[in-house]
Each structure stands twice: as C-alpha cells, then as structure tokens.
A and B are shown apart, each in its own frame.
Chain A
Amino acid sequence: MSAVAAAPASLAPTARLRRPSTLTVWRWELRKLVSQKRTYLGLFLASILPIVFVIVQNIHTDHGGGRDNIFASQIKQSGLATPVLMLLFLSLFMLPLIASLVAGDIVANEDGNGTLKTILTRSVDRGQVFIAKTLTAMTYAVIAVFLSAAVATVAGVASWGFNSITTFSGTVVSAPKGLLLVFAANLCYLIPLLAVVSFGVLLSTTTRNSTAAVVGAIGFLFLLLIIAQIPGLESIHPYMLQEQFENWHGLLRTPTDWAPIIHSAWVCALYAVPSLIAGYLVLLRRDVTGG
C-alpha cells in the first residue's frame, strides 16, 4: 500500500449517500446466485431428470397402453404428455428439494460466512436484504420449474412429436393449446412451491444453518405426508401443503376447474405469509455476529 501517500482527494468525505433500491439489492442477489457453482446443481437435476425419463421411455418397448394415468397412456402419442408427467413425478419431492437448496441456504450461508455483516454495514436496510433474498429464492424456484418443463417439452416433442393431447376429462386439445396448458399447469404449481420457498427462507433465517434449513423444509413436507396418513385426520387434508401440489389438475379438465387453484392460493398463503413475516421480524431483530 505504498501508494497511500498518493491517495486522491476524491475520497474526501461526502455529505450524504443516495441509498439503493430493493430492486438493486435483488439484482445483486441474483448475480451472487449465478456466481455460485452449487446453484447449478439444482438446475442440473431439474433438467437432467426429464432427459433421463425420455431416454428410458425410448428404450422401453411398451407403448403406454393400459397405464392408469391418462398422460402415461399417451406418452408416445404426444410429446406434450412428457412435461405433464414430469410435473406429476417431480412435484412432490424433487422440485421442492431443488427450491429448498437455495431458499434454505440464502440467509444462513451469508450468516455463516460473515458476509451478512458486510452487506448490513452498507446503505441497505435489513428489510431490503430480506425481501431481495426472498425474491431471489423465489426466482430460482421459478427458473427450476420452467427449466424442467422446457427440457421435458423439448425432449418429449423431439421424441414423439408436437401432437394433440387428451386431458383428464377426455377432451382432445390441439398441440398449441396443450402447450399453453403445460405452461399454465407449471404456473399453478408455483403457488405451493413458493410457499415451500417461504418456509425455507424462514428456516434459513432462524437456524443460521444451511443444511438444517434445507433438511427442515423437506422434512416439513414429509411430516405433513406422515400426518396425512393418520386415520381420522381426513378433514384437514385439504389444508395440508403437499395436497396443494396437485392444484394444476383442474386446468387439464374441460371445463377448467378453477376451484382447486383458488383453494390452493389461500391455503398456501396461510403457510407463506406467516413464514415471511416471521423471517422478516427475526432478521430485523437478530444479532448478526456470524463469521
């Protein structure tokens, strides 16, 4: 640092700093995410599983006739059946796990590394940091879901063509409309997934431990699954988070059944909003000593 003697005058103290917007903080959270290798692990899983599925189906000589699920039975008639089946398979565990990898890590990792104190001693409020981190975890979940859907659609269409598809109610829809329904189904699936993300962010904030937060978020879903198996508790099933993962089924019926989607929206809000409020308050009041 021998250049200190030549420290320029422009470093002279300033009167007032103009503070950055939450959008700026969010943008930088995304850049941090992009810079980390582990980010790509989840996206790799989200994209490789549909490819593996399509390869296995291509090797398999069964043409799908006689399968219980209507989309499984037409797997080799329309490439659009693939993204629907993948959403069905991945929705309960794999996509929540991928989303939790980032949600559970996003605050805890910074706390553990001591970088939380680095950013909290700049010109941003804790609330801005929390909102930006939550938005980033949600963005990642959205990307993972649509990446998986896109890969599944491309792989399915490449293998079995861009053909019309029959929905749950037996109605045949054209390929373009089928594609739109695939997109809408994934969009609806995001409702419960974002509730999982919210819970993951809460755990990340409170536990200060990435592993505990990721395992905790997935463990919570498993706990709900176990509770759902207990006899006599059938009446609470409609209010359990994992039940909402099938909300998109209503889109693939004619006429469209909006009831499960609307129901899942408010049920998921019951999980997400308190989680986010609690996470926000915890971060706002906590002592930052990590690292």
Chain B
Amino acid sequence: MIEDAPPVKARGLVKRYDEVLAVDHIDLNVRAGDVYGFLGPNGAGKTTTLRMALGLITPTEGTVELFGRDPMHHGARALEGVAGFVEAPRFYPYMSARKNLELLAALDGDGASARIGEVLDIVELAPRAKHRVGGYSHGMRQRLGIAAALLRRPRLLILDEPATGLDPAGMRDMRLLIRRLAAEGITVLLSSHQLPEVQELCDRVAIVDSGRVVYEGALADLRRQGGAGYRLRTTDDQRALEVLRGQGGIEHPITGAHGLGFQAQEQDVGPLSVALGVAGIGILALTPELATLEDLFFRLTENGAGATPGMDDEGAHASGDATPPPIADDATPRTVQIG
C-alpha cells in the first residue's frame, strides 16, 4: 500500500464480454476520506467495475489501482487495507457466522480473529453467531458481510448495494454505520440504488450509464449544475403555465400534482411574479428548490426525462415545449452540464 496514493484510481477501464461492452473506458478517482457514491441503472456496469477493482475479473483494457497497487499485478497485496463485497456477500451456509468469520480472519492474518466478537457486536449478530448462516435472512447476511469487511480494519470499504434487502430500520442503521466509519477516516466506495441514501451520505459521486461515466465529481457541484428549481402554486395554474412559457429566463416549465415547476436564475423570478400579477393570477406559493440527486440521476441516465429539480416524478409531466436538459455526449465525459 502506497501511503499517499489515492484509494481508487481507474483509468480507461474496459470490460467486454464477446459483443457486449459492459464497461466502456471508465475513469474513477476516489480520494482519501471520500464517501463516494457509485450510481447507475441496472446493467450500467457498476458491479463489473467493482469486480475489476477487487481483482475478481480482468479488465479488457485499462487499469485500476487501489492505494497505488493494481490487483492484476500485485494480487492479494493490492487488497491490503481494502475490504467489502460485490453483489450480495456470500458465506458458507453449513458453518456458523462465527466460524465463517474465523475462516475469513484466518485468511486475513494480522490478528483479525481477535476482532470477531467486536464486529459481531457492531452488526448485532452476536446472539446468533453460533447459528448456521444457511438459516440467516438476507438482511442478516448483509450485516455479516459488513462484519466480515470490518475484520480487515480497512482504509477503503467497497460496498455494493449494502442496504439491499434491509428493512427501514436496518437501512437507517446501515447509514449510521457508514457515516460512523467515514468519520473514523475510512474511505467508502458505495454502489447503491438508494438515491436519497447516497445524497445523504456521499460527498462525491460517479454516475455511470451504459458502461460510461456520465458524471464524476462533487455531489454539491452536480446539484449546482442542475440549476435552481422552483415550485409554484397559483390561483390558476393553467394560465400561469402560459405566462411561464412566455417569460424570459424561465426554463423547463412543467405541471405536476403539486403545482408548477420550472428552472430559472433568481433575477428572473422577480419579473415572473410581476407578470403573474399583471395577468391577474394570484401566487399561493413560490418555493426555491435545489435539484435532488434523483432528479439529476434520471436526467443523466434517461433521455428525455427532463424533470425539474424538486418536482416529484409521480404526477409530473413535461409541458408541451419543455426541452429535455442537454446531456453531454462526448466520448469520455468527466463532468456534464445539466439543465
């Protein structure tokens, strides 16, 4: 492990299965201390990328380094200080949780076996530690997966959908645990479909679609690029929509179940309120809202969605002249302009 090397650095990562290009020149930069969200629709190439990062599969092209070491060249040494799981964590069903952890601790060395009780306590599996894993629920196996990862006292924790199959309390606890680990200085690479969870936990994200990174960078930057969104409720939404369409600086006006939505710079909102007043339309509420990660995610990964930040997906529909926000289509986008 090279001390000053970044936890994850991927360059031009490609994985091809015959005719299928699962990962297409992906670059990733996970910095020390990041809680890094790795997002994308199903089949986008997230799990394949994580498998390459952990040395489970060989890249067709490109390299990935963990703390400066490539698993393809350094083997298990590249995983020093690294732990986690890809897809669901797997254990020996005919052995107890404790026995499984003893096995993994033996394969870790470095006195990991002394931490078994500790990690079982953390994931609250100590009372069931003597039970065979074959009888465990999916959520319990997820927790055991976390326990197995913590045995290694990692500096980088790679988690692939860790909250999958957990009940709401389990998901909340998983978030707390990740936050706690991040606070202790562990870098977390989190692949997740739970966008609110990622928005809450992550400071940097990479969004992949069809095997390519469509955004990588700070989550705050992404949300800023998404533009300011506004929610508007009036005494006559139909007429208000006409006013919005005719008003300069107002973009992507849509109607939804809870009123109207649009994007605009703050200086353009004042003239809009005046225009609405002149048209005899009363303003019941005009609320600024930043784009949620969910909005941005769909805009980046779905062509033509064009949801206005802050608007619920359900019940919202684009107005007739609403243009989907542009998504950069150059070959290897690092950052794209949204909205």
Residues of A within 8 A of B (CB): 1-5, 7-20, 24-25, 27-28, 31-32, 35-37, 113-115, 117-126, 285, 287-289, 291
Q: Are B85 and A121 in contact (CB under 8 A)?
A: yes
**Of B75, B85, B185, most A-chain CB atoms within 10 Å:** B75
Task: Enumerate chain B residues within 8 angstroms of A121, measured Cβ to Cβ.
Answer: 54-56, 79, 83-86
Q: Is A16's CB under 8 angstroms from B122's CB?
A: no
Question: Which residue of the partner chain A has the closest CB to B156?
Answer: A13
In the bound complex, do residue A291 and residue B106 qualify as a contact, i.e. CB atoms below 8 Å apart? no
Inter-subunit contact B92/A35 (CB<8 Å): yes
Whether the pair B81, A117 counts as a contact (CB closer than 8 A) is no
Interface contact A124-B89, CB-CB below 8 Å: no
Given contacts A11-B119, A287-B58, A288-B56, contact A20 B1 (CB under 8 A): no
Q: From known contacts A121-B84, A124-B107, A289-B51, infer whether A4 and B56 are also in contact, taking CB-CB under 8 Å.
A: no
Which of A18, A117, A291 sits near B109, CB closer than 8 Å? A18
Query: In the complex, are the beta carbons of B79 and A123 less than 8 A apart?
Result: yes
Most buried by A among B58, B75, B107, B108: B107
Determine whether the beta carbon of A12 is less than 8 Å from that of B176: no
Q: Is the CB of B55 within 8 A of A120?
A: yes
In the bound complex, how far is the Cα of B102 from the Cα of A122, in angstroms?
12
B residues 73-105 with Cβ under 8 Å of A? 75-77, 79-81, 83-95, 99, 103-104
CA gap between A73 and B124 in the complex, in Å: 66
In the complex the two chains form, is B103's CB within 8 Å of A17's CB? no
From A1, A14, A16, A114, B174 is in contact (CB under 8 Å) with A1
Q: Are A11 and B80 in contact, CB atoms less than 8 angstroms apart?
A: no
The interface residues of chain B lying within 8 Å CB-to-CB of A28 are 103, 106-107
Does B220 count as interface, using CB distance less than 8 angstroms?
Answer: no
- Residue from A7, A13, A119 in contact with B154 in the complex, judged by beta carbons closer than 8 Å: A13
Which residues of the partner chain A approach B150 to less than 8 Å between Cβ atoms? 11
Taking a contact as CB atoms under 8 Å apart, the answer to whether B177 and A1 are in contact is yes
Count of chain B residues with a beta carbon within 8 Å of a chain A beta carbon: 59
Known: A37-B94, A118-B104, A120-B56. 8 other contacts (CB 8 A): A7-B181, A13-B81, A13-B153, A13-B186, A20-B108, A118-B85, A120-B55, A124-B76
- With the chains together, A122 CA to B81 CA distance in Å? 10
Whether A8 contacts B118 in the complex (CB less than 8 A), given A1-B170, A24-B106, A125-B75, comes out as: yes
CB nearest to A128 among chain B residues: B76
> Sorted from nearest, which 9 A-B pairs have the closest CB atoms?
A114-B90, A1-B173, A287-B57, A122-B107, A13-B155, A14-B153, A4-B177, A17-B110, A20-B109
Residues 138-187 of B at the A interface (beta carbon under 8 Å): 143, 148, 150, 152-155, 170, 173-174, 176-177, 180-181, 184-186
Given contacts A4-B180, A7-B122, A37-B94, contact A18 B110 (CB under 8 A): yes
CB-based contact B56/A289 at 8 Å: yes
Asked if B123 is at the interface (CB within 8 A of a chain A CB), the reply is yes
Residues on B lying within 8 angstroms of A by beta carbon are 1, 51, 54-58, 75-77, 79-81, 83-95, 99, 103-104, 106-110, 112, 115, 118-119, 121-124, 143, 148, 150, 152-155, 170, 173-174, 176-177, 180-181, 184-186
Contact A1 B119 (CB under 8 A): no
Report if A35-B85 is in contact (Cβ < 8 Å); known contacts: A11-B119, A121-B54, A121-B79.
Answer: no
A119 to B151, CA, bound (A): 13
- Contact in complex: A119, B107 (CB < 8 Å): yes
Q: List 13 A-B contacts (CB under 8 A).
A: A7-B184, A8-B122, A14-B81, A15-B81, A17-B110, A18-B110, A24-B107, A35-B99, A37-B94, A114-B87, A118-B90, A121-B79, A287-B56
From B58, B85, B87, B177, contact of A7 by CB (8 A): B177
A12 to B150, CA, bound (A): 9
Distance in angstroms from A32 CB to nearest chain B CB is 6
Report the bound CA distance from A288 to B118 in whole Å: 30
Nearest Cβ on chain A to B159's Cβ, whole angstroms = 12
Specify which chain B residues have a CB less than 8 angstroms from the CB of A31 in the assembled complex: 103
Chain B residue with the shortest CB-CB distance to A13: B155
- For A11, the chain B residues whose CB sits under 8 A away are 115, 118-119, 122, 150, 153, 181, 184
- B56 CB, nearest partner CB in chain A, Å: 4
Q: Are A113 and B90 in contact (CB under 8 A)?
A: yes
Closest to A284 in B: B75
Q: How far is the CA of A125 from the CA of B109 in the complex (A)?
A: 13
* Contact call B118/A10, Cβ cutoff below 8 A: yes
Residues of B contacting A8 with CB < 8 Å? 118, 122
Which of these, B56, B80, B90, contacts A16 with CB under 8 Å?
A: B80
Q: With A11-B118, A121-B79, A291-B87 in contact, do A17 and B180 touch (Cβ < 8 Å)? A: no
Please state if A4 and B75 are interface contacts (CB–CB under 8 Å). Answer: no
Contact B103 A126 (CB under 8 A): no
Q: In the bound complex, how far is the Cα of B121 from the Cα of A32, in angstroms?
A: 25
| One of B90, B112, B123 near A115 (C-beta < 8 A) | B90
Q: Which residues of A contact B118 (CB under 8 A)?
A: 8, 10-11
Bound complex: CA A9 to CA B99 (Å): 24
**Residue contact A12 to B85, C-beta cutoff 8 Å:** no
B254 to chain A, nearest CB (A): 40
| Set of chain A residues within 8 Å of B79, measured between Cβ atoms | 121-123
Residues of chain A with a CB closer than 8 A to B107's CB: 20, 24-25, 28, 119, 122-124
**Across the interface, do B90 and A291 meet the contact criterion of CB distance under 8 Å?**
yes
**Complex: how many Å from CA A172 to CA B286?**
109
- Name the contact of B108 in the complex, choosing from A3, A35, A117, A123 (C-beta under 8 A): A123
Given contacts A37-B94, A119-B107, contact A10 B83 (CB under 8 A): no
A4 in contact with B173 (CB, 8 Å)? yes
Listed residue (A13, A15, A28) with the most chain B CB atoms within 10 angstroms of its CB: A13
> Shortest beta-carbon distance, B136 to chain A, in Å?
14
Report yes or no: A1 in contact with B152, Cβ–Cβ below 8 A.
no
> Which residues on B sit within 8 Å (CB–CB) of A122?
76, 79, 104, 107-108, 152
